[in-house]
Amino acid sequence: MYKPYINSQVVTTKLNLFEIFYSILKDRNEKEANDVLGEYALCIVDYSKEIIAEAAKFRLLHKKRDLSMTDCIGYITAKRFKIKFLTGDKELKDYSNVEFVK
């Protein structure tokens, strides 16, 4: 599902990497999860208190969609970096700056 992006530069937060690790651990195995964790740990960017505030406001504004805190922070971080937010979460599918992958 994410194969077309394999050669793209990756930017992620610790929260998003947690979700990726958890998903691989649940669906595959611990070795693959650790391999991905090791590979993408170098791609982690920190987020500021301003991003936290903006993400919380975004989540509140769209509370009917039941967006996760992790996705809101990742989405706002991507906007700040002026890059696409890659997600398989259908709740974010129709937002600007989102690349929906399933």
pLDDT digits (tens, 9 = 90+) for 26-78: 999 999 999 999 999 999 999 999 999 999 999 999 999 999 999 999 999 99
Q: Which residues contact 56 (CB under 8 A, 6 or more apart)?
A: 72
Q: Tens digits of per-residue pLDDT, 50-61? A: 999 999 999 999
pTM: 0.90
Whether the per-residue pLDDT at 7 is higher than 90: the answer is: no
